[in-house]
Structure 1
């Protein structure tokens, strides 16, 4: 099982945090984090439910991580293992994650696929999302997988859709001409773009587009 104690910083003040595998006793807090991250009018049926969380800890507990501060869960990140071949046809989030239930988890899969990453708004200035991502990279290395992969929303694309394609938007984000809350964050975390995917997730701001972004295991090149 995974457990890491670190210090994060609230401005100049160190704050002790623990990144660990989440368990059944954490489910209520994990759902609370989802509610805080995705308040109404976001559909409540799309928040984690206990059946999904139970599958995470039963099927792939190594890929079920949370970050805890003062006994309070501040964020979480979830993944499953899949077999991925570069260049294969596009997929949707619902298909590749089994709509978050991960019953399609492949214990010997070559890729750790990100199901979700969420950090409670009041903790977002502490850099917890980046720490969770780095911890998942360690899971990739520990299990000898080839990569971490996942789709990144493009929430500012709707502001530019009349001027450029989704591919052009991604290029401008990578060049630093546009700052996107999700894609720029993933670049900061060391992820690199693979391709733009249509109809990845129902997401009005992204116009249902996403960018597949990966982190390659440097020990498996």
Structure 2
């Protein structure tokens, strides 16, 4: 099981954090994080439910990570092991994650697939998302997987869709000509774009596109 303690600084004030696996004792806080990250009119039935969370900690507990500060869970990151073929990248979020239930978890999978990442808004200035992502890279290396993969929203795309394709938008984000709050964040975490997928998830801002963002295991020769 995973546990790592660090000290961050918020405007010069030290903040001690613990990155660890989440458990059943954390379920209420994890659902509360979803409520804060996705407030109404986002439908509450799409927040984590306890059946999904039970599957996370039962089927693949190594992929269930959270950050705790002063006894409060303030962020979470969930993954699942799947088999991924880069030659056939097209899929939806529902297909890759079993709609968040991860019943498709494969102990023989070659890829750690990111199901969800959430950080309470009040703590987003601390860079917790990047810290959790790096922790999940440790899991990839420890398990000898080929890659970490996940589909990123591209919420800035709707502002530029009349002038460029989804692929063209991502090229400009990668080159630094445009900034996208999700894709630019994933690039800063070391993830690289692999493919733009249409109808990846229902998301008006992204026009239903998702970008598969990959981190290759540097100790694994592909």
TM-score normalized by the length of structure 1? 0.99
* Residue 39 in structure 1 maps to residue 3 in structure 2: no
Distance 1:11 1:162 in 2: 40
Q: CA RMSD in A?
A: 0.6
- Counterpart of 1:130 in structure 2 is 130
Task: Indicate conservation of the 8 Å contact 2:76/2:118, yes or no.
Answer: yes
Alignment of 1:187-206 (within 5 A): 187-206=187-206
- 1:33-182 to 2 correspondences below 5 Å: 33-182=33-182
Using the alignment, how far apart are the partners of 1:170 and 1:102 within structure 2? 28
Cα offsets for 1:65-111 (capped at 9, x unmatched): 00000000110000000011111141000011000000000012100
Where has structure 1 moved over 4 Å in runs of 4 or more? none
Unaligned regions of 5+ residues in structure 2, if any?
A: none
Distance in 2, matches of 1:217 and 1:26, equals: 30
- Whole-Å Cα distance in 1 between the matches of residues 183 and 5 of structure 2? 27
- In the TM superposition, residue 11 of structure 1 has moved relative to its aligned partner by 2.1
Do the aligned partners of 2:67 and 2:73 also contact (CA within 8 Å) in 1? Answer: yes
8 Å CA contact 2:89–2:195 kept in 1: the answer is no
Secondary structure in structure 1 of the residue aligned to 2:115:
strand
Taking structure 2 as the reference length, what is the TM-score of the superposition?
0.99
| Cα distance in 2 between the residues matched to 1:11 and 1:46 | 35
SS in 1 for 2:99: helix
Paired residue for 1:11? 11
Uncovered stretches (5+) of structure 1, i.e. residues with no partner: none
Count the aligned residue pairs.
221
* Inter-partner Cα distance in structure 2 for 1:11 and 1:200: 38
